[in-house]
Chain A
Amino acid sequence: MIYIFQEAFKGFFKNKSMSLITVGIVSVSIFIFGLFIIGTANLMNLIKLAEDKIEMVAYINENTNENGIQSVRNNILSIAGVQSVEYISKEQAKEQFIKDFKDNANLLEVFENNPLPASIKVHISIAYKNPENLKNISEKIALFKEVSDVDYGAEWVDELDRAVKFLFIIDIILGIIIALASVFIVFNTIRLTIMARKDQIDIMDLVGATESYIEIPYIIEGIFHGLLGSLISAGILYLLFSFLSTKFPALISMNNSIICILAIFGVFLGFIGSIMSVKQCLSEIRDFKSRKKVKI
C-alpha cells in the first residue's frame, strides 16, 4: 500500500515534463469549462432579474367600496401562483405618478378629478412566471366584477420567454461541446503519458503484479493531475472575476459551489481518463503479444 502512493508520487516528479503538460492541459480545459459555468450562472442571474420585473396589475372599477376591495384582494390571493397582493389607492397612484414623471406632473392638472384608477399589484411566484400561467391567472382575475382590466405586459413576457428558451438551448449545446472537448483532450493527454510508460507496465505484468497494483498508482496520479489542474484554473478564474467584478458589480464571480464543480470535474477527468488509459494500455500489451504480427 505504501508502494502504491510512493509510486504515484514518484511518477509525478520523475516525469516532470509529462506531469506539467498534463496539469497544464487540464488547467486550460477546466478554465474554459469554468468560463462556461460562470457564464451560465450569470445568464441565470440575468434571467432571474428579468423575471423579477414581471408584475401583474389588476385595475379596480371606480365605484368599488371598501368591502369590494377586501373581497377582491382575498379572491386574487386564493388563485394558485399568487404570492402576495398590494393595494394601491387612487391617491397612492397619483403620488407615484408625480414621483415617476416629475417634469410632466402637471399633466394630471388638466383633469378635474384624479383619473388614475385604484389597483392591486399581484406578485406571482417564480414558478408561474411563464406565458401560459400568467395568461391563466390574468384571465381568472379579469373575471372578478370589481376588476376593470388586468395588465402584465403579455408581449414582453412572450419575448422574454422566447429569449430564455433560445439562450438555454445555446447554453446547453455549448456546455456539451465544451465538456466533450475537455474530456477528449484530457483523456488523450493522460493516455499518452501512460502509454509512454508501457515498458514499466509490461514489467509489472511480467513479474506478477496484480491488476489493481498496476492500475492504482496511475489512477492516483490521474486524480492528482485532475485536481491540481482544476484548482489552478479555479485560482486563475477567481482572480480574473474578482478583477472583473470591480468593473461590473452585478457580475456573479467565483463562489464555493463553482470551485467545487470545477474540482469535481477535474477529478472526474483524471480518474476516468487514467483508469481507461491504464486498462487500455494493459490490454494492448497483452493483445499485441497474442495477436498482432510483430517482429520478435
Chain B
Amino acid sequence: MIEFSNVSKSFQGDWLALKNASFKINKGEFAFLIGKSGAGKSTIMKLIYLDIFPEDGYINIAGYDSRTIKRKDIPFLRRKIGVIFQDFKLLPDRNVYDNVAFALKVTGESYRNIRKKTLDALASVKMSHKRNSYPYQLSGGEQQKVAIARAIVREPFILLADEPTGNVDPENTAGIMNLLFEINTLGTAVLMATHDHSLIKKDINQVIGIRDGKIVKPENIFSKLDIEETESAL
C-alpha cells in the first residue's frame, strides 16, 4: 500500500537525509519507525504525504507515484492520510470541535456530514466532553487526542504519527498509544515514528529501524558496526 523504493532525499548540497531507503507498509498494518533524533524519521513521514519529494527512487502511496503525481492531486491524496505531530499543530483561535471540523470544512465536506463526522471522531478519541474547550485549556495528552480526531475524521487509510508522545507526560503516553492501537484495530494502518524503544509492543507488525538516513535492522539503530556492510550494499 505504501512502498519506498531506493528513495534518497537531500535538503541541500550532496548531503543525504535519506539514503536508498526501501520498505513497504501493508494495508491495515501497525508499523514502527524507530531511530535516534535526526535519523530521518520525519523526512520519511513528509515523503509519504508528499510534503517533500525524493531526489532519487520513488514512493508509491495507494497507487499514487511520487514521480508522476500532479500537484492538483496531492490534496486528494492527503485527505486519505492522517498526520499527527509531536507539537499537535492545533489552531489556537478555535475550540476543539472547530479544530476537528476544520479538516472537513476546508476540504469541501457537505454541511450535513460535518457535524456527525466531527462528533464521531471526538467520541472515538474520548474527547466529546471537551468539545468547547480551547487548545490552551487542555493538557498535552488531550491536545494530542484532538489532533488524532482531526487526523482520522476523514477516515484515512493510514495514520502517520510523528513522535506523537513527545510532548505528552508519561501517564498519558499509554492512553495515546492505546488510542493508536484501537484506531488500527478498526482498519486504519498506523506508522508511528519514535526514538523510544519502550513503546514497542509485541503485537506490532513491523519495526523499521533508521540510522543516519539508512534503513537498518531495529537492533542496529545505535550501533556503528554495520556501517560498512550497509555502505557496501549501496
- State the A residues within 8 Å of B (CB): 2-3, 6-7, 14, 199-200, 202-204, 206-211, 213-214, 286, 289-291, 293, 296
Main secondary structure of the interface of B (DSSP, over half): mixed
The verdict on A289 contacting B51 (CB below 8 Å), with A203-B91, A209-B107 known, is yes
Interfacial chain B residues near A293, Cβ < 8 Å:
11-12
Starting from the known contacts A206-B49, A210-B107, 15 additional A-B residue pairs (CB-CB under 8 Å) come to A199-B91, A204-B106, A206-B51, A206-B78, A206-B89, A207-B78, A207-B103, A207-B154, A208-B76, A208-B78, A208-B154, A209-B75, A211-B72, A213-B108, A296-B42
Interface residues of B (CB under 8 A from A): 11-12, 42, 46, 49, 51-53, 72, 74-80, 83, 89, 91, 93, 102-103, 105-108, 111, 150, 154
Chain A residues with Cβ below 8 Å from B52 are 289-290
- Which residues of chain B are near A296, meaning CB under 8 Å? 42
Q: A203, A209, A210, A290: which contacts B89 (Cβ < 8 A)?
A: A203
Q: How far is the CB of B41 from chain A (nearest CB, A)?
A: 10
Q: Give complex CA distance A206, B111 in Å.
A: 21
Interfacial chain B residues near A199, Cβ < 8 Å: 89, 91
Cross-chain contact B83 with A206 (CB below 8 angstroms): yes
Q: Does A291 lie within 8 Å of B11, measured CB to CB?
A: yes
Chain B residue at minimal CB-CB distance from A3: B105
Q: Decide: A209 and B12 in contact? CB cutoff 8 A.
A: no
How far does the alpha carbon of A284 sit from the alpha carbon of B53 in the complex, in Å?
16
User: Which residues on the A side are within 8 Å of B107 (C-beta)?
Assistant: 207-210, 213
Please name all residues of chain A whose beta carbon is closer than 8 Å to the beta carbon of B76 when the two chains form the complex: 208
Determine the chain A residues whose CB is within 8 A of the CB of B78 once the complex forms: 206-208
Chain B residue with minimal CB distance to A217?
B106
Cβ of A206 to closest chain B Cβ, rounded Å: 6
Please report the C-alpha to C-alpha distance between residue A266 and residue B120 in the assembled complex, in whole angstroms. 44
> Which of B77, B102, B106 lies at the interface centre, i.e. has the most chain A CB atoms within 10 A of its CB?
B106
Task: Tell whether, in the assembled complex, residue B150 and residue A207 are in contact, meaning their CB atoms are under 8 Å apart.
Answer: yes
Q: Give the complex CA separation of A276 and B78 in angstroms.
A: 25
Return chain A residues, CB-CB under 8 Å to B79. 207-208
Q: List 11 A-B contacts (CB under 8 A).
A: A6-B105, A7-B105, A7-B106, A206-B49, A208-B74, A208-B75, A208-B76, A208-B78, A214-B106, A286-B51, A289-B46
Q: How far apart are the CA atoms of A199 and B85 in the complex, in Å?
A: 14
Q: 9 shortest A-B CB distances, which residue pairs?
A: A208-B78, A208-B79, A209-B106, A207-B103, A208-B75, A3-B105, A290-B52, A210-B75, A204-B106
